[in-house]
Amino acid sequence: MAKKAAYPEEGEFILATVKEVFRQGVFVTLDEYGDKKGMLHISEISLKWVRNIRDYVKEGQKVVLKVLNVNPERGHIDLSLRRVNDAQRKEKLYEVKQKQRSQRIIELLTKELKLSKKELETEILSKLEDYASPYDGFEAIAGDNTLIEKLGIRKKNRAGLLDIINKNVKPPFVVVTGFVKLNSYAPNGVDIIRESLIRIQESGAEGEIEVNYVSAPFYRVKVRAEDYKSAEKLLHNSVKKGIEYMERNHGKGEFHKEMAERQK
């Protein structure tokens, strides 16, 4: 994981704690930068005229602010509240929460798998660099445990990692799986089966349905959705479309349910 810079950058959104409110502004500490001090001038609190600053912020309150100017030599950090919209505030709070969750899982991994910080970085965290954050990677694994096999994590650490993730991470989706058996004896049977699989795949939005060859005549259909009921419905509807296409073209199709493990 990249080391945090000593000071924030201009234009960055930061989480701060209000420490002192006075007539012309507010002093805050920057939560993510070693509690360095920053200044929020009264003119940067609201687009409206501010009669009483405490109508907007109070001591001890957590606020999302935008960095206007940084002077490391003098230790000055100028901040703004009025230049943060609701979407930016929510995005920053989500980012902070994800980092806190990541740190909690990392502490568990270090303790229970007895990994040094270097081992944790090279063995696990470096394998999650394709995700927006380590916690996003943990969520993905919690939603589909088979993903861990594609990350290249050594087998001796897989079981412990999965156990910690499944106990402590609530994924934002569920995964259910089933098999479809497709047979066609028509001269163009291969094309008919291929088209049937395409219809299954395209029954959902991008990333919702994954179809893989198992062994003739079986294909695995994996569906990802926000909840179990939606996933089951999408699985059955998508397979139904594929089977109906087979039957219209003098082929046969059968659905075989694989035991679906709850992922949420």
**One domain for residues 154 and 180:** no
Whether the full predicted model's pTM is greater than 0.85, yes or no, is: no
**Does residue 181 fall inside a structural domain?**
yes
Is the pLDDT assigned to residue 12 strictly greater than 90?
yes
Q: What CATH number does residue 56 fall under?
A: 2.40.50.140
Q: In the predicted model, what is the mean pLDDT of the chain?
A: 89
Q: From CA 177, how far away is CA 225, in angstroms rounded?
A: 12
Helix or strand (DSSP H, E) at 252: strand 252-257
Q: What is the pLDDT of residues 200-215, one digit of tens each?
A: 999 988 778 999 998 8
pLDDT given for residue 3 in this prediction: 53
Q: Are 65 and 16 in contact (CB under 8 A)?
A: yes
Is the pLDDT assigned to residue 2 strictly greater than 80?
no
Q: What CATH number does residue 141 fall under?
A: 1.10.150
Is the pLDDT assigned to residue 259 strictly greater than 90?
no
Number of domains in the chain: 3
Of 168, 198, 223, the position where a domain reaches its end is 168
pLDDT band of residue 261 (cuts 50, 70, 90) is: very low
**Does residue 262 fall inside a structural domain?**
no
pLDDT given for residue 32 in this prediction: 92
Alpha helices per DSSP H over the chain = 86-112, 117-123, 134-143, 155-168, 189-201, 228-248
DSSP structural state of residue 82: T
Q: What CATH number does residue 197 fall under?
A: 3.30.70.1130
pLDDT band of residue 258 (cuts 50, 70, 90) is: low
Q: Taking every pair of C-alpha atoms in the chain, what is the biggest distance, in angstroms?
A: 85
Is the pLDDT assigned to residue 115 strictly greater than 80?
yes
Q: Are 42 and 24 in contact (CB under 8 A)?
A: yes
Is the pLDDT assigned to residue 159 strictly greater than 70?
yes
Q: What is the pLDDT of residues 34-64, one digit of tens each?
A: 989 999 999 999 999 999 999 999 999 999 9
What would the mean pLDDT of 115-136 be, rounded to a whole number? 86
Residue 234 buriedness (CB in 10 A; 0-12 / 13-18 / 19+): buried
What would the mean pLDDT of 260-264 be, rounded to a whole number? 38
What would the mean pLDDT of 179-187 be, rounded to a whole number? 94
Of 84, 112, 137, the position where a domain reaches its end is 84
The whole domain housing 78 covers 13-84
Q: What is the pLDDT of residues 212-250, one digit of tens each?
A: 998 889 999 999 887 778 889 999 999 999 999 999 999
pLDDT given for residue 92 in this prediction: 93
